[in-house]
């Protein structure tokens, strides 16, 4: 695939892996993107996952006409992008590896060598001339590992953005970018909002025409849309008005309450997403909690605590910096309801949480009092 006259795509698609990083469902697969810059010197941007090394190396040979690359630039050391480095280095023995100092330390830990006789260490402000193309390196620590650099080609105005602006799904997957990009970002990068904000400020100083991420499609149109979403996500603001209801239910009574509430909210014109945490894609439920401005948590008291899937869900939210939202609580308990207290205690880690005045307590099953509280909660959430 041609990115510009001199920049070619040589990445690969993984339609085999079922769980990315051992936890994220990827029904449309994922890509490991790599790029070649053809100039007086040839540079390869990043490696791919080791199981796809043969395909990747063949792609490189086709693009270079069999000529050995001069540089392999390693922006990120996570194994889905670095585990073919040793194979590449053996294949092209004269190639110099270019990366950050922290990346070379990780390289030795992962693969037993940091290629001391063929390395160039770069960092913030470093440049590398390939001929007419000049690569400018920008440090991006904790986006989302400490060694990360991104690279700006000032000739073609291309930002090689490492894991930034990546998404689940292959580049040829026909689906809205934002849904799987959001799920990817919140799940994998979401904890590191401040470093992302720092990188976005650096990006503002660059004249960017194309963004080349390490996962998903190359972005070349309406870049403001993608940059704006990253700004929203990394500042923990709500992207849209809407209500997520996340629940667990043992014998169906909490579910009945949730469905009644959802119907009432929809009747009032609200956008509503309902997630049964025991059965849903947890990453999607987490991503939507960050997408919308209101969240309802409904669960049973369980061993004087809360049902395990709800605990897991709240842990996912808080460890990713969940903030700036309105939260409503629904608890069920047959003799000693404590779920609301436990949930609010877990959310103490989150900043700027506003609790709905109408909380709902169910004692085993809905009755007139709890139904009235549900209806009052629907009114409050739709004010």
pLDDT single digits (tens) 84-115: 999 999 999 999 999 999 999 999 999 999 99
Residue 62's Cβ-side half-sphere holds a number of Cα atoms within 13 Å equal to: 13
The answer as to whether 327 is a domain residue is yes
Same domain, 17 and 164: yes
The answer as to whether 43 is a domain residue is yes
Same domain, 103 and 187: yes
The helix (H) or strand (E) run that includes residue 326 is strand 323-332
The answer as to whether 103 is a domain residue is yes
- Strand 43-45 versus strand 35-37 pairing type: antiparallel
The helix (H) or strand (E) run that includes residue 19 is strand 19-20
Same domain, 92 and 199: yes
Q: What is the pLDDT of residue 335?
A: 86
Q: What is the pLDDT of residue 354?
A: 97
| End residue of a domain, out of 167, 200, 234 | 234
Question: 282 is in which domain, residue-wise?
Answer: 240-381
Q: Is the pLDDT of residue 224 over 90?
A: yes
- CATH number at 372 reads 3.40.50.360
Same domain, 228 and 327: no
Same domain, 57 and 170: yes
- CATH number at 192 reads 3.60.15.10
How far apart, in whole angstroms, are the C-alpha atoms of residue 240 and residue 249?
27
The answer as to whether 190 is a domain residue is yes
Tokens of 90: 């053996």
Same domain, 164 and 253: no
Read off the pLDDT of residues 43-88 as tens digits, 9 standing for 90 and up: 999 999 999 999 999 999 999 999 999 999 999 999 999 999 999 9
The answer as to whether 2 is a domain residue is no
Same domain, 223 and 114: yes
Read off the pLDDT of residues 292-336 as tens digits, 9 standing for 90 and up: 999 999 999 988 889 999 999 999 999 999 999 999 999 999 888
The answer as to whether 61 is a domain residue is yes
What does DSSP assign to residue 190?
G
The answer as to whether 1 is a domain residue is no
Q: Is the pLDDT of residue 1 over 90?
A: no
| End residue of a domain, out of 207, 234, 261 | 234
Q: What is the pLDDT of residue 304?
A: 86
Same domain, 196 and 270: no
The answer as to whether 226 is a domain residue is yes
| End residue of a domain, out of 234, 250, 272 | 234
Count of structural domains, the chain: 2
User: pTM for the complete prediction?
Assistant: 0.93
Percent of the chain with pLDDT over 90: 97
Read off the pLDDT of residues 166-208 as tens digits, 9 standing for 90 and up: 999 999 999 999 999 999 999 999 999 999 999 999 999 999 9
Per-residue DSSP letters for 124-153? TT-EEE-SS-EEEEEE-TTSSSTT-EEEEE
Same domain, 301 and 344: yes
Q: Is the pLDDT of residue 119 over 90?
A: yes
Q: What is the pLDDT of residue 85?
A: 97
Same domain, 156 and 300: no
Read off the pLDDT of residues 330-354 as tens digits, 9 standing for 90 and up: 999 988 889 999 999 999 999 999 9
């Amino acid at each position: 695939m041609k990115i510009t006259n001199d920049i070619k795509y040589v990445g690969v698609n993984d339609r085999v892996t079922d769980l990315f990083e051992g936890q994220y469902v990827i029904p449309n697969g994922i890509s490991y993107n790599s790029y070649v810059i053809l100039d007086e010197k040839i540079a390869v941007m990043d490696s791919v996952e080791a199981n796809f090394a043969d395909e990747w190396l063949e792609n490189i040979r086709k693009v270079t006409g069999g000529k050995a690359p001069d540089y392999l630039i390693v922006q990120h050391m996570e194994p889905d992008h670095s585990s073919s480095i040793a194979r590449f280095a053996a294949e092209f023995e004269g190639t110099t590896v270019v990366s950050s100092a922290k990346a070379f330390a990780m390289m030795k830990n992962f693969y037993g060598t940091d290629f001391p006789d063929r390395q160039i260490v770069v960092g913030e402000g470093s440049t590398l001339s390939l001929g007419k193309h000049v690569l400018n390196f920008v440090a991006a620590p904790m986006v989302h590992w400490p060694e990360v650099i991104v690279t700006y080609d000032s000739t073609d105005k291309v930002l090689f953005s490492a894991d930034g602006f990546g998404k689940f799904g292959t580049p040829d997957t026909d689906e809205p970018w934002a849904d799987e990009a959001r799920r990817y970002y919140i799940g994998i990068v979401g904890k590191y909002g401040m470093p992302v904000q720092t990188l976005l400020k650096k990006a503002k100083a660059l004249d960017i025409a194309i963004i080349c991420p390490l996962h998903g499609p190359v972005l070349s149109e309406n870049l403001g849309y993608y940059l704006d979403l990253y700004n929203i996500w990394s500042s923990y603001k709500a992207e849209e008005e809407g209500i997520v209801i996340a629940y667990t239910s043992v014998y169906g009574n909490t579910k009945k309450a949730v469905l009644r509430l959802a119907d009432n909210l929809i009747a009032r014109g609200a956008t509503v997403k309902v997630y049964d945490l025991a059965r849903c894609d947890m990453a999607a439920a987490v991503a939507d909690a960050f997408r919308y401005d209101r969240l309802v948590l409904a669960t049973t008291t369980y061993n004087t605590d809360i049902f395990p899937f709800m605990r897991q869900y709240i842990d996912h939210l808080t460890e990713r910096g969940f903030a700036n939202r309105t939260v409503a609580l629904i608890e069920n308990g047959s003799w000693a309801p404590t779920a609301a207290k436990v949930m609010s205690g877990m959310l103490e880690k989150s900043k700027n949480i506003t609790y709905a005045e109408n909380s709902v307590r169910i004692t085993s099953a809905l009755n007139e009092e709890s139904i009235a509280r549900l209806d009052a909660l629907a009114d409050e959430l739709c004010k």
